[in-house]
Structure 1
Amino acid sequence: MESFLAVVAWRALDAAASRPLPTDDALATLELHGAVCEIGAEDGVWGALLRKRGLVHCVCYAREPREDAVTHVLPGDENMAAHHTDRTLLLVRGGKKLDEHEALNAFTKAGGKLMAHVGDLHAPDLASFTTLLFDAFEKQVTVALPGGDRLTIWKRKQPAASGSATGYGVLDVRLELVDMEAPDWANPPKDPPKPFEPVIGGRTVKPTMSREAMRKAFEERLPDGFVHESGD
C-alpha cells in the first residue's frame, strides 16, 4: 500500500482526478457537526484526514473497498446510511459506484438530520438527488474547494407546526388566549375565588362575600391589640 502522503500528492497533481480533495476549512466545518458517516468512500482520503485530525469519529463505506485505500473502508452500499442517522452523512462526488439519491433517500427515511455534500449540485446527473435534498433539507454552510467544487452542509427541515400554516390555526390560538384571560360569567368556576383575591387572570372579579362578612374576616386577621375605628 502506498503511503497516504504519496497518494494525496499524486492526486493533487493529477488533473484527471475526479474526487475533490479536502481542505482544512472543509474538514473543520465537518467537525463542527459531529461524527461522520461517508458512503461511497472510494480511496478514503476524506475519512483518513478526519481520523488523522482526531476530533470526530468517522466511519467509511464503499460497495467494493479499494485495496489502495488510505484508511480502513468497510464494505457497504448506500443503505448503510440508514444505520447512522446520528451522524452527518457525507457524500463526495466522483464515486464510481455511488448513488447519491439512494443514499440520501435511505438516510432521510430512517430519520437522518444532517448531511454534507461535496461537488457541484448543478450537475445534470444529480437532478433526482437535488430534488430530494431541496425538499427535505435546508442549506446551513457552504465552503469553497479548489477546482470550483463546494462542500455544503444541510440540516433536515422542521415539520410545520399543526395549524400554523393557515389562518384557522392562528385564529384558534387567539381564541384560546382570550378564553384564558377573560372570566366566563355565564359559567363561573366550580370553586369560588378565595376572599381578598379580587384579581384573577388580569381581570377584576366580583367579591363573593357580603360587606359585613368581608369586614369581619378582615378584623379577624388584624394583630392583637390593633384598634380599628369604624368610619360608618
Structure 2
Amino acid sequence: MRIGVVTFPGSLDDRDAARAVRVAGGEAVSLWHGDADLHGVDGVVLPGGFSYGDYLRCGAIARFAPVMERVVDAARGGLPVLGICNGFQILCESHLLPGALIRNDHRKFVCRDQPLRVESVSTAWTSGYAAGQEIVIPLKNGEGGYVADERMLDELEAEGRVVLRYVGDNPNGSYRDIAGVTNARGNVVGLMPHPEHAVESLTGPGTDGLGFFTSVLEGLVRS
C-alpha cells in the first residue's frame, strides 16, 4: 500500500512520517505542496511542522496549496487522511475536520511524552487499537489547544468522533481534553500528538504510535 506524505515549506516531520509508514510495512510516497495530483496513493499523511512559517494562522496558508485541492476532494471520496500537529491544523482550516487549534492556554511551547486514551477505534487510523486503551506518544506544540462551540463538542461526543483524549494534566487547554477527532465517515483523523515519533523501541517512549500506520495499511488490505 502506498501512503503519500506531503511536504510543505516549513514541514519538519515529513521524513519521520515517511519512516513510520515504512516501519509499518507500507510504501512511503513523497508528495510536494505544489503537486497537481496524488500519484495514485492509497492514503495521505499531513505531517507536523510550521507550514509556510505559520503566518496568519497555523495551516491557514497551507490549505490553499495545490496539493490540498486534491487531498480535500479525495478525502471527501473516502481516501484515508491523517493530519499530525500542523497537519491537524491544516485539516481544520480546510474544513475536513471541525473546530480549530489555538495558542496553548499557558502561552508556552510544550514538549513531552504524553499519555493518551484511545476513545474511538472506528476510524481508518485507529482500528488496530482497543477502545479505552492508554498509550504514550510525544507531544510538541505551541498552538495545540483544540476548541469548538458547545454544539459541535456535544455532536462529536454523541457520534463517537473524539478519537483521542489527554490523560492526566491537560497540556494545552484543549476543550474536554480532546487530543484528536475524526470526520463522520472515519477516514479523516487529526491529532496533535506525534505517533510517527513512537514507532521504534530504540527511540522515543516506545512503539505506541505504530498502530496508527498499521491500522490504515491493514484496513486498505481488507478493502
- What TM-score bracket applies, with the shorter chain setting the length? 0.3 to 0.5
Q: Which protein has the bigger helix share?
A: 1
Larger C-alpha radius of gyration, 1 or 2?
1
Structure with the larger RCO, 1 or 2 (CA within 8 Å, 6+ apart): 2
Instruction: Report the TM-score, using the length of structure 2 for normalisation.
Output: 0.33
